């Protein structure tokens, strides 16, 4: 299970529903990444439980591997402003 939060950018209005850091699923470990190809946030699988192996994170949206770790408090992938985390969280049960 993982907790997913709604993040929004006060400057450009970009919104994303991501973990905002590292989290775990039954399938493995995820980490939020920012993609320099499509400028969006997504949660990428970074470790696979099935094979017990590290996994190259890729963007969930465009499948590019030009991604870097993103944590709550980091800048918006579109304009760089600090994104705010909505208090509402979603529990993803897998």
Q: Which residues bind Zn ion (CB under 5 A)?
A: 9, 11-12, 14, 35, 37-38, 59, 61-62, 64, 76, 78-79, 81
**Helix, strand, or coil here: 13?**
coil
State the minimum distance, in angstroms, from the CB of residue 66 to Zn ion. Answer: 7
9 vs 18 by CB, closer to Zn ion: 9
State the minimum distance, in angstroms, from the CB of residue 42 to Zn ion. Answer: 7
Phi-psi region of 20 (alpha: psi -120 to 50; beta: other; left: phi over 0): left
Phi, psi of 5 (to 5 degrees): -115, 155
1 vs 66 by CB, closer to Zn ion: 66
Distance CA 26, CA 43 (A): 14
1 vs 68 by CB, closer to Zn ion: 68
14 vs 47 by CB, closer to Zn ion: 14
State the minimum distance, in angstroms, from the CB of residue 30 to Zn ion. Answer: 16
Distances in Å between the Cα of 58 and the Cα atoms of 9, 52, 83, 86, 90 are 22, 18, 21, 25, 22
């Amino acid at each position: 299970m993982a907790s997913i939060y709604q993040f929004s950018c006060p400057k450009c209005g970009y919104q994303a529903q991501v973990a905002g850091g590292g989290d775990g699923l039954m399938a493995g470990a995820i980490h939020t990444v920012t993609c320099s190809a499509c400028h969006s946030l997504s949660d990428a699988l970074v470790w696979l439980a099935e094979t017990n192996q590290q996994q190259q994170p890729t963007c969930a949206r465009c499948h590019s591997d030009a991604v870097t770790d993103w944590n709550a408090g980091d800048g918006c992938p579109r304009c760089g402003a600090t994104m705010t985390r909505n208090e509402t969280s979603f529990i993803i049960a897998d």
